[in-house]
């Protein structure tokens, strides 16, 4: 904030260094889950870069990608998709300079695929993810972090389509690679554990799933704190496993605080917030807590649909976040 204010004072609001400072502050807000503040800056940065640099300038395209990722994190899939398609097409058109194999073009494809998935557009998402994985294996090698992320994202789309064997094979591969390269406490390794747990859950392998999800929640609480979206999602996932085993009291103990934190961090209208409310209402019903169930029901907003797949898959969001930071801080 101090850097941005100083540049505004010394250089003026239209200077490119001032705009870059705004982009970097937006990225910081984004990484903290402060999406409303991030969005305000992202919108301004994109507007300024379009006016000063033109819509085809690489920094303008990066600004559009950053705003798209902020919309994506708020569950605003349509707005996110519109910008991501624009970014992908712009980067393809610049193929004479970047080429289809350039990391920025591949990132654009990966982020567009990530937005297709929560809308249930799995065939479109899979097509892009297969291409991203092939390009990254060829250009970067199989042990590069971005290649491993691409494998995790392809596993996610297999998971969405109920292709458990294919999903599990990639999930195990990703987990082993991240454990060996990054260590057990690295956020990406923890995400790999969460993704493998979700595949076990889908196969009703509850004990294996619960063991992994408890580890994920413990690590996220320790590293990120409870007031962080990924930690909240980890709590919701473990609650789902408890519920599947009729352990309703334990499920409610996790879901109730998760619901309130989601309101604070994501807003009441976010699809993930609404999904946790639906789960909590059901759990209260199982416990015979009619009053609490009715109170929770009143928090549900008509017309806010569930994402095509809520529980569990962290990889798409992780990839979008990492690429956003890398782009914004260049």
pLDDT tens digits along 225-274: 999 988 999 999 999 999 999 999 999 999 999 999 999 988 888 888 99
The separation between CA 298 and the C-alpha centre of its own chain, rounded to angstroms, equals: 28
Evaluate whether residue 8 is within a structural domain. no
Evaluate whether residue 119 is within a structural domain. yes
- Which band of pLDDT confidence, cut at 50, 70 and 90, is reported for residue 319? very low
Evaluate whether residue 255 is within a structural domain. yes
Question: Where is average pLDDT lowest: 17-21, 109-113, 136-140, 210-214?
Answer: 109-113
Residue 253, classed as helix, strand or coil, is helix
Domain range enclosing 207: 55-328
> Which domain CATH number covers 81?
1.25.40.10
pLDDT tens digits along 105-122: 888 888 888 888 778 888
Question: Where is average pLDDT lowest: 133-147, 192-206, 254-268, 309-323?
Answer: 309-323
Query: What is the predicted pLDDT for the residue at 100?
Result: 64
Evaluate whether residue 12 is within a structural domain. no
CB 268, CB 301: distance < 8 Å: yes
Evaluate whether residue 128 is within a structural domain. yes
Classify 304 in phi/psi space as left (phi over 0), alpha (psi -120 to 50) or beta: beta
| CA atoms within 13 A of residue 272's CA, in its CB half-sphere | 30
Looking at residue 226, the DSSP 8-state letter turns out to be: S
Residue where the block lists tokens 């006016």: 51
pLDDT tens digits along 84-106: 888 888 877 765 555 667 777 88
Give the number of domains in the chain.
1
- Which band of pLDDT confidence, cut at 50, 70 and 90, is reported for residue 6? confident
Question: Does 127 score more than 60 pLDDT?
Answer: yes
Residue 142, classed as helix, strand or coil, is coil
Q: What is the rounded distance in angstroms from the CA atom of residue 252 to the CA atom of residue 162?
A: 28
Question: Does 214 score more than 90 pLDDT?
Answer: yes
| Residue 134, H or E segment | helix 122-140
Query: What is the predicted pLDDT for the residue at 96?
Result: 52
Evaluate whether residue 112 is within a structural domain. yes
Residue 24, classed as helix, strand or coil, is helix
Classify 319 in phi/psi space as left (phi over 0), alpha (psi -120 to 50) or beta: alpha
Structure tokens at 267: 């807003």
Terminal-residue alpha carbon distance, the chain: 18
Query: What is the predicted pLDDT for the residue at 271?
Result: 85
Q: What is the rounded distance in angstroms from the CA atom of residue 87 to the CA atom of residue 60?
A: 9
Evaluate whether residue 139 is within a structural domain. yes
- Phi/psi of residue 5, each to 5°? -65, -40
Evaluate whether residue 86 is within a structural domain. yes
Average pLDDT in the 42-56 region? 93
Q: What is the rounded distance in angstroms from the CA atom of residue 92 to the CA atom of residue 98?
A: 8
pLDDT tens digits along 154-185: 998 898 899 999 999 999 999 999 999 999 99
Q: What is the pTM of this model?
A: 0.63
Query: What is the predicted pLDDT for the residue at 126?
Result: 93
Contacts of 138 (CB under 8 A, 6+ apart): 101
């Amino acid at each position: 904030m101090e850097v941005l204010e100083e540049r505004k004072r010394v250089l003026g609001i239209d200077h490119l260094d001032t705009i870059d400072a705004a982009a970097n502050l937006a990225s910081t807000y984004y990484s903290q889950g402060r999406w409303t503040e991030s969005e305000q800056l992202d919108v301004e940065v994109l507007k300024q870069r379009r006016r000063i640099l033109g819509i085809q300038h690489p920094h303008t395209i990066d600004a559009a990608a950053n705003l798209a990722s902020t919309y994506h994190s708020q569950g605003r899939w349509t707005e996110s998709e519109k910008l991501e398609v624009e970014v992908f097409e712009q980067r393809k058109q610049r193929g004479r300079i970047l080429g289809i194999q350039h990391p920025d073009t591949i990132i654009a494809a990966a982020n567009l695929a990530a937005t297709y998935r929560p809308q249930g557009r799995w065939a479109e998402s899979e097509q892009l993810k297969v291409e991203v994985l092939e390009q990254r294996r060829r250009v970067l090698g199989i042990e590069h972090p971005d290649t491993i992320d691409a494998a995790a994202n392809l596993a996610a789309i297999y998971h969405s389509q109920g292709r458990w064997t294919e999903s599990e094979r990639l999930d195990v591969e990703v987990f082993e690679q991240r454990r060996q390269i990054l260590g057990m406490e690295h956020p990406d390794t923890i995400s790999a554990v969460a993704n493998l747990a979700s595949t076990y859950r889908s196969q009703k392998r509850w004990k294996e799933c619960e063991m992994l999800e408890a580890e994920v929640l413990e690590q996220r609480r320790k590293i990120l704190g409870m007031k962080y979206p990924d930690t909240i999602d980890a709590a919701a996932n473990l609650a789902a496993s408890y519920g599947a085993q009729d352990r309703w009291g334990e499920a409610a103990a996790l879901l109730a605080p998760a619901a309130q934190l989601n309101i604070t961090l994501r807003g009441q209208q976010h699809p993930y917030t609404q999904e946790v409310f639906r789960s909590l209402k059901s759990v209260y019903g199982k416990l015979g807590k009619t009053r609490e169930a009715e109170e929770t029901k009143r928090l549900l907003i008509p017309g806010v649909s569930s994402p095509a797949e809520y529980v569990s898959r962290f990889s798409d969001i992780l990839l979008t976040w990492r690429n956003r930071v890398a782009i914004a801080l260049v």
